[in-house]
Structure 1
C-alpha cells in the first residue's frame, strides 16, 4: 500500500465547480498539513474526529502531530444523526476558539456536523456516504424524533481521499454506505424530473473491488445529486429512520427496493425503472448475482434486482432487522410527510397511509 502514496493529485471534484477540491496520493495527515500551510494559510484548527477512530487507532494523534501547533480544539465524536444540541455546541466552540478551519475525520455524521459553521472545511472521509461533496446536511430534533434538513451557503472546501484510512471502516458500514450512493443514483435515474447531465453521471460504472475507486465512484454519484434533480421517498423516509438509530446506508438497503416497487405499482416511472435495470445489467457482478438467483429474465424488476444485490452483500432488508417495530410507523409517516423529498417522489406521496404502505412492506421478517 505504501507505493500508492507517492505523488499527490489535487483537482476539483466536479467539472463545473471550483469546490470542493479532492486530493489523493498522499497520506491524509501530510495532505492536510500541506494545504493548510500553503493554499489555505489557516492557523486555528478545530478537529472533529470519529470516536471509534480515536479509541481504536492512532490516526487522530497522527493528524494532530502533523498539524503541530495549529490545533486549538478537538471534538471526539458526534452522536449518530446529529442532534441539534450537538451542532449548537460545535457552533459555540468555533466562535469561542476563533476557529478559521475545521478538519473532520470520520463518516457522514461527523462531516455533516461541521457544515453550519462558516469556517473553511476540510473533510477526510471514512465511508461512502458522500456527505463531503455537498453542502446539504441534516440534524435531529430529539423531542419530535424528526430529521431537519438544512443547506448552508458554503460546503466543504477540500476532500482528502485515503484508502488506507478507509480500511479501518467496518465492512458493514462500508458496504451499506456504498448502497447509499447507489440509492442516490437510482432515485435520480428514476426521477421524472431528471435531466441528461444528471443521468450521465448517475450511470457511469465503477470497479467496486478497489476502495479508492469506490471513493471516486461516490464522488460521481454526488455529482449526479448536484444537478438539481429532486430525490424521492427512499431518501425522505430514510431521513426519519435515522433518529430511531438506523444508519443512513441501512435505510437505503431496506427502503430503496420497496420504493421502486411502490412507484412501479402506481405506474409512475416504469420506463425509467426499466432503463435503470439496463444500466445495472451492464455490470458483470450484477449479472452474476441474477444468474445465481435464477432471476436473469429478459425484463427483471428493478426492485427485485436491487433486493438481490443488497442481500448478496449481507445487508439488512427489513425494519425488524434493525430494531424498528410497527408501533413507530405512525410517527415515522408523519415526520416523513414533512421531508422536502417526499412530494418529489416519482409518485408524489401526500398521505401518511402511503408511507405506512411502504413501511409495512419492509417490516419483516
Structure 2
C-alpha cells in the first residue's frame, strides 16, 4: 500500500510510482486520461490511500501528471488501478496549507466545473455536479480563509466537497482549453497548477462564449446569474466576467507576466496545447494555433 498526503503533486507522485511498480511503461509525453478507463499494465493492484490538503482534486482521478524535465513538456500515466481506493477529507489537515495554494487550487476546482459544463460531452448529471461545485466555491472559498475555529473548518469542508463534485463531473466530460494550457504553462515556466487556472480561465471562457454560449447554463446557475437560452451569449460573457471578479478577490496571480513568463516565449507551448485540445475534442469547433496564441496574449 501507498499513502499520499498533501496536494496534487505528492498524490500524482504516488500514482506514477505505483504505475512503475505495477509494471507500467514509462509515462507518456502526452496527456490522454481516456486511458483511465482501461487497464494497460501487467501487475496487480496497489492500495492507494490519499489524504489531500488542497482543492486540486487529483485524489479522485485514475491519472497522474508527470513532467519530462529535459523537454519541460507535461505528460502523464492513466490506469483505473491508479485510482485511490480510500480518500480521507479532513478540513483540519488543511489549516496549514498556504492561503495562496488553497485559493488557487480552489480555482482549479472551479476550472473543472466550468470546463465540464461547456464540454461537448456534458449531460444532466455532469451539469448538476458542476452547478453545485460552483455554488459551493462561491459561498465558501473566501470565508474559508477569513474565519477561524469551527466556522473555518465547516467552510473548508464545503470547499473539499466542491472539489470532489467538480472532478467527478469533469472526469466524464474531459477538460478543455484552460486545462490544456495549464498542463503546459506549469512545467514550461514553473507555474503551480492552480495558479494557471487563475490566469487562463476567464480568457478561455470568453473564447468559449463565442463558440458554445448555449452550454453556459449550469455555470450561470452556479453563479446565480440569469441565463436566457434564446440569447445565451451575453449571459456567457457575464459568467466569464464574474469568474474574473471572483478570482480577483484572492491574493493570486491573474496574468502570465505576474508569474515571470516572458512574452516572447508564450507561443512555445501552443503546438503541444493544440495536440491535447484536439485529443480531448471537447470544444465542438476546430481550434487553431493562432486562437491559442491569442488567448495567451490576452492572459499576458
Q: TM-score range by the shorter chain?
A: 0.7 to 0.9
Partners of 2:161 and 2:131 lie apart in 1 by: 14
SS at match of 1:203: helix
Aligned CA distance change for structure 1 residues 302 and 163 (closer, same or farther; 3 Å): same
Is 1:306 aligned to 2:239, yes or no?
A: no
**Pick from 6, 9, 12: which aligns with 1:109?**
9
Deviation of 1:275 (Å): 4.6
Partners of 2:250 and 2:283 lie apart in 1 by: 27
Correspondence for 2:49: 122
More helix by share: 2
Matches within 5 A, 1:209-224: 209=143, 210-224=155-169
- Could you list the structure 1 runs, at least 4 aligned residues long, displaced by more than 6 angstroms after superposition: none
- Structure 2 segments unaligned to the other structure (5+ residues): 23-45, 144-154, 226-233
Deviation of 1:279 (Å): 2.4
Higher RCO (CA-CA < 8 Å; seq separation 6+): 2
Correspondence for 1:238: 182
**Pick from 88, 102, 119: which aligns with 1:191?**
119
Aligned CA distance change for structure 1 residues 325 and 276 (closer, same or farther; 3 Å): same
Partners of 2:255 and 2:282 lie apart in 1 by: 21
Give yes or no for contact 2:56–2:194 (8 Å, CA) kept in 1: yes
Is 1:318 aligned to 2:246, yes or no?
A: no
Deviation of 1:346 (Å): 2.0
TM-score with structure 1 setting the length:
0.63
SS at match of 2:261: coil
More strand by share: 1
Matches within 5 A, 1:57-136: 101-116=1-16, 117=18, 118=22, 119-136=46-63
SS at match of 2:244: helix
TM-score with structure 2 setting the length:
0.76
Aligned CA distance change for structure 1 residues 225 and 263 (closer, same or farther; 3 Å): closer
- Pick the structure with greater CA Rg: 1
Question: RMSD over aligned Cα, in angstroms?
Answer: 2.2
- Structure 1 segments unaligned to the other structure (5+ residues): 1-100, 283-296
Is 1:179 aligned to 2:107, yes or no?
A: yes
Deviation of 1:359 (Å): 0.3
